Amino acid sequence: MTRTFFVGGNFKMNGSLDKVKSIVEGLNAGSLPSDVEVVISPPFPYLKWAKDHLTASTVEIAAQNSFDRGDGAFTGEVSVAQIKDVGSTWVILGHSERRTILKESDEFIADKTKYALDNGLKVILCIGETLEERQKDETLTVCNRQLDAVIAKVSDWSDIVVAYEPVWAIGTGLAATPDDAQDVHSKIRAHLAEKIGEKQAEGVRILYGGSVNGKNATTFNGKPDIDGYLVGGASLKPEFLDIIKSRA
């Protein structure tokens, strides 16, 4: 099965309006490949500006979080309806920073994933192990547990993209080797095939998200289960275009 190459840019809690303008202008002028799906995720205050000023037809917008209920008395949260109202079509859920810093449980992330999907958003679902878990050889145990929480609540995975983000490689400059990443991705797909069926699993795009940059992105080319990247810090820099074009 041919899966469309996917590059996500997670700006995290970084940037300003001027910074977002610069990134959007770079994408608009970047002669992006037509066969690559690009999703950028600015901080909440800049979502509408980014959506309104993007002219590149292959680029969509993602929020960095959403709640598991509709509008209401939930101070500080953002609803799916509000995210859609400003033109976003995706949301990032389960990122390691929300799992580890904000202590979001697998079950809560699964609830948020189901609610987002049921109400019309597509989901970039992040999974991955910490350094301590990796050293204990628990990579797949952790990834499978995080996936299983969502599998228990969601049967249709056609609007989910899975991002494997080894926590030890995020923001550290470290990255798994292409062979190591492919090995984990292939086992993630095998687990999905066992739980949601081979046909669905073959259609799910699995992204690598551990310190991908303009220099190392091409080294992952040719790996059959690496369907793109979820990029952090490099998405704020001109090299983001190089990553988008890395399969050219």
Q: What is the structure's pLDDT at 168?
A: 79
Given a cut of 70, whether residue 101 has pLDDT beyond it is yes
Mean pLDDT of the 146-154 span? 98
Q: What is the structure's pLDDT at 176?
A: 80
In angstroms, rounded to a whole number, what is the distance separating the alpha carbons of residues 229 and 235? 11
Report the alpha-carbon angle 144-150-152, nearest 5: 95
In angstroms, rounded to a whole number, what is the distance separating the alpha carbons of residues 30 and 221? 21
Report the alpha-carbon angle 160-165-171, nearest 5: 135
Q: Which residues are catalytic, by number?
A: 95, 165
In angstroms, rounded to a whole number, what is the distance separating the alpha carbons of residues 128 and 143? 6
Kindly report whether the global pTM for this prediction surpasses the value 0.95.
yes
How big is the chain by its Cα radius of gyration, in Å? 17
Q: What is the structure's pLDDT at 51?
A: 98
Q: In terms of DSSP bridges, do strands 90-93 and 59-63 run parallel, antiparallel, or are they unpaired?
A: parallel
Mean pLDDT of the 122-149 span? 95
Task: For residue 37, count other CB atoms closer than 10 A to its CB.
Answer: 18
pLDDT > 90 in the chain, percent = 91
Taking the domain 5-244, which CATH number applies? Answer: 3.20.20.70
Task: For residue 94, count other CB atoms closer than 10 A to its CB.
Answer: 27
Residue appearing with tokens 């979001």:
104
pLDDT classification of 56: cutoffs 50, 70, 90: very high
pLDDT classification of 248: cutoffs 50, 70, 90: confident
Domain boundaries, given as residue ranges, for the chain: 5-244
Q: What is the structure's pLDDT at 186?
A: 98
Q: What is the pLDDT of residues 74-91, one digit of tens each?
A: 999 999 999 999 999 999
Q: What is the structure's pLDDT at 1?
A: 63
Name which of 56, 53, 47, 51 is nearest 11 in CA terms.
47
Query: What is the DSSP code (8-state) at residue 76?
Result: T
Q: What is the structure's pLDDT at 156?
A: 98
Q: What is the pLDDT of residues 3-55, one digit of tens each?
A: 999 999 999 999 999 999 999 999 999 999 999 999 999 999 999 999 999 99
Q: What is the pLDDT of residues 168-219, one digit of tens each?
A: 777 676 668 899 999 999 999 999 999 999 999 999 999 999 889 999 999 9
Name the average pLDDT for the chain: 95
DSSP string computed for 154-204: ----TTEEEEE--GGGTTSS----HHHHHHHHHHHHHHHHHHH-HHHHHH-
**Alpha-helical runs (H) found in the chain:** 17-28, 47-53, 80-85, 96-100, 106-118, 131-135, 139-151, 178-196, 198-203, 239-244
pLDDT > 70 in the chain, percent = 98
